[in-house]
A and B are shown apart, each in its own frame.
Chain A
Amino acid sequence: MSVEMNTNNVLEGFTSSAATFAADIDQVLWVNLVLSIILFLSVVGPMLYFAVKYRASNVKDEDIENITHHTGLEITWTVVPTLMLAVFFWYGYSSMKTLRTMPDASNAITVKIEGSKWKWRYEYPANSNGYVHKLGGAFTKPVQDENGKVIVKGTMDKSALYVPVGTNVILEMTAPLGDVLHSFYIPAFRMKEDVVPGRITKQWFKADKVGEFDVECAEYCGTDHSYMYSRVVVLPKAEYEAWFNSNADTPKGNYAKGGDAVLQRHGCKTCHSVTTDKELIGPSLKARILTKEQVLDVIKNGQAKLGYDMGAMPAGLATGADAQEIAAYVAGGLKGKQPASFAACSSCHGEDGKGNFGVAPSLVSYDATLLRNVLKHGKKGMIGTMPPFPYVSDEEVSAIAEYLNGTK
């Protein structure tokens, strides 16, 4: 994985000044390290010393002493480590207090975070114009040539969590129902909290330093777990305020509005290939190709979820050989001679099968109604279940539809 800016990366965070509590955690780790080394040496030191001093060639059998008890020593090596453990507990406890005591909400910016396979999304409170900033999206994976050399670097583009420096930020985090666990981890801030579907978990931080820091998903979430990556960008307060009160997408400029960029930002491309026919996790979007099995499945079971004006498509409009014939024709892209049995379909899907002005979907291309409904409600099909993407705007749906039909 290679990211856009290599000058600012996770290692920079180890100055301990990226977030207010990072120094506390580092102090805990240093105290722990020093005491651990003392404890380690108290075991391994004598062991090595005895192994040399009492080596077989050095000891006569008569000199072996069967010492089995020494009350003073036993008390010492029980009490002293116990006290050290008490110190550890105290440091662990007090640093947790700092990390987990939420600042007063009136004195903080509350950002809603949603983690889903495999992207982070950020929603800000309404600004002075009543505009709600919604940011975030999927990471674009780097492209490698056949030798494994990175030829196009991975990027977050403009998607990031933008926060002002020296300000409390409260994160209210969740994942959509039907998704899985994730964990929002900013190594530079020494901060991590799981994101749980159906629950809201909270975490806070106060960034001390202007810069860009990595966000990683730390709870295993499937195929692209290691690409569920994002950035937190800490801005000077004035710069943040200027952006926050504007309607611009991000402080770095507006998002690209093209269909390809929209598909990327919403993470569509991790499951759907757009440039090839390859079935990744979901079907390829290169062309609207329904397989024979899919067509037969719809004919057999009907389709109630696509939300066209016509309403649900009833089950069993064609059967047996007719259904097979239709399936072969549709799967073939409506090419060749139209079978007579297609009449059962053409009343809704049009004579040419290309849809009927938003009443019923085209069988060979994408229209905005189809895309909007699938994105809004998700879809359970033969290949698997696609989760809903309710936050994709109408404008974006149109861009996607235009893009998909243009690439065919």
Chain B
Amino acid sequence: MGKSYFDETHCAIGHPKSTFMQWMLTVDHKRIGIMYAVVMFTFFFVAVAAALTMRFELFSPGQQYIEAQTFNQAFTLHGVIMIFMFIIPGIPAVFGNIVMPLMIGAKDVSFPRLNWFTFWLYIFGCIVALTSLFNFNISEGEVLFKFADTGWTFYAPYSLNTDTNVITTLVAGFILGMASILTGLNFLVTIHRLRAPGMEFFKMPLFVWGIYATAWIQLLATPVVGITLVLAILEKYFGIGIFDPSKGGDPVLFQHLFWIYSHPAVYLMILPAFGIMSEIIPAFSRREIFGYRTIALSSASIAGIGYLVWGHHLYTSGMSDTAKVIFSFLTFFVAIPTGIKFYDWIATMYKGKIILATPMLWALGTIITFAVGGLTGVTIAMVGADIHLQDTYYTIAHFHYAMLGGVVFLLFAGMHYWFPLVFGKMYNETHAKIAFALNFIGFNVLWFPMFIAGYMGMPRRYFDYLPEFQIYHQISFIGALIFVTGLIYMFTVLIRATKNGKPCGPNPWNATTLEWHLPSSPPPLENHTKVPYVDFRPYEYHHGQPVVKFDENMRRID
């Protein structure tokens, strides 16, 4: 067995001897992906803690443990971390980095040093966001919790009026956006230039398609939110009067600009997740995927149409009724390719041999939760229905079913799928399945009651509520406890496996795509020994066995 990427690495500057510095300066896409995962999941648990604090407070009506202002800061903290630090870098930063170059037979991304820089830019953005948590009054030795209380959407004019540290948070958002743009740029060039010879676009694995569509959104849409955040900063400091109505500005303009990015951003999150689904379903059905081209093109069309639908966040904002109808109409066109993908995945299971390993359980669980998330999204795409449901718990439940039950669940699915690839070891499947069950049950108990509460008229971002809603909050609370237990359980299983897991060889799942055809496990520093020639489709199975096989020098032996 040769050396793996854990034993040696390329660095951005020099050849440091210490392991620590080798990690800090590494340009290896696999190591960078792992570091993203560590930082992102750390923040993820901070945001989970903020959410749990809110659930405790909401257990019964009236004030329980924290003050209204702290509650408002808690949901802002939850949203800002989950969106800007966790789910936007999300799957591309972790698996786009680790797996995508392996899948196309590349030795690294096109610009490894830029990749290193991007990671540290992301860390810098996170640090700026953390500094916005507190105000330090050194002379009096005071530390005040001064995190923004605007909600993660930063709606003007509230964000311009509040005296919390909203500017620092906006700056952090800008820096994190910059990191996202650079990631997109790097991946676009990589996918265009570094595919193995013979691998045309329609021979790429579908996860690469997801990353590709996402990269375009990162590159083209993120600048809009950058501009918006800069305008908000200028408005706050120099009073340029673009959003502030008392200076002749228009607060609804902020909402438009914000959602021109932030709506495509949800497709930026979900498309790579759909990519993971498209990898797992054929691998654990042991057969070729159904409708490869349709799935690939539907990703591209979702990315395209996704730009045209932002106005569906503004049905009650005072926007013109004509615009509402047009945005509603366009929104339904996103649902069509999404639905087709789902039917293609289900058809892939038909006459396959379905192995219910942990990644497959996560994928199938996500089909259920995302179907709920997607269909409730269709409900609020209907203008008349949304006028009632906008800004209620219904919308919150929809969003979490789609984002948590879609993107994050598939991220977890990907974690279980590629864990043996990354570490060369296998986790304990029994425990991982128990963790899945806890998460799946907890998640549904937590979020489903909110559909009903929202329909009854429970508005979001409420510190206190009418007593009629108590029962829904209490069921949610129980769900939250189960869910958090499941999360901790799952991470414990995985972290233990990095030490104690059994070595599993390069292709434990009998999968077909190139990342499973590495010469050793974990992968060597520069991936495949030779760049393979790809004249085959990504998911070719015959009688449940991968058709294409390679020897250790990447010569075909099938």
Contact = CB atoms under 8 A, between A and B. Distances in A.
Contact of A99 (B72, B246, B384): B384
B430 interface: no
B353 A10 contact: no
Contacts of B339: 39, 77, 81
Interface string A55-91: 1100101111111111001100110011001101101
Contacts of A69: 290-291
A93 B353 contact: no
Contact of B64 (A32, A148, A188, A221): A148
A89 B543 contact: no
A197 to B, nearest CB: 4
A50 B349 contact: yes
Interface in B237-257: 245-246, 250-252
A91 B342 CA distance: 25
Contacts of A28: 382, 384-385
Given A64-B351, A190-B387, A222-B72, A29 B545 contact: no
A92 B385 contact: yes
Interface stretch (A158-166, A211-219, A312-320): A211-219
Contacts of A194: 316-318
Contacts of B350: 46, 50, 54, 67
Nearest to A57: B353
Contacts of B468: 9-11
B436 to A, nearest CB: 14
A199 interface: yes
A127 interface: no
B462 A226 contact: yes
Interface stretch (B115-123, B329-337, B474-482): B329-337
Interface string A196-231: 111101000000000000101111111111110000
A185 interface: yes
B337 to A, nearest CB: 9
Contacts of B392: 218
A227 B291 contact: no
Contact of B461 (A51, A56, A225): A225
Range for the number of chain A residues in contact with chain B: 35 or more
A81 B374 CA distance: 13
A94 B382 CA distance: 10
Interface string A314-336: 00000000000000000000000
Contacts of A196: 245, 251-252, 317-318
Contact of A9 (B62, B252, B291, B466): B466
B364 A64 contact: no
B466 A1 contact: yes
Given A32-B378, A96-B384, A193-B316, A221 B158 contact: yes
Interface in A219-264: 219-227
A311 interface: no
Interface string A19-46: 0000011001100100010011001101
B184 to A, nearest CB: 30
Given A1-B467, A225-B462, A82 B155 contact: no
B384 A94 contact: yes
A222 B149 contact: yes
Contacts of B69: 223
A6 interface: yes
A47 interface: yes
19 contacts: A2-B61, A28-B384, A28-B385, A29-B379, A54-B352, A81-B335, A93-B325, A95-B385, A148-B63, A178-B157, A192-B387, A194-B317, A216-B459, A219-B391, A220-B72, A220-B158, A223-B149, A226-B464, A227-B464
Interface of A: 1-3, 6, 9-11, 13-14, 24-25, 28-29, 32, 36, 39-40, 43-44, 46-47, 50-51, 54-56, 59, 61-70, 73-74, 77-78, 81-82, 85-86, 88-89, 91-96, 98-100, 142, 144, 148, 150, 177-181, 183, 185, 187-188, 190-194, 196-199, 201, 214, 216-227, 384
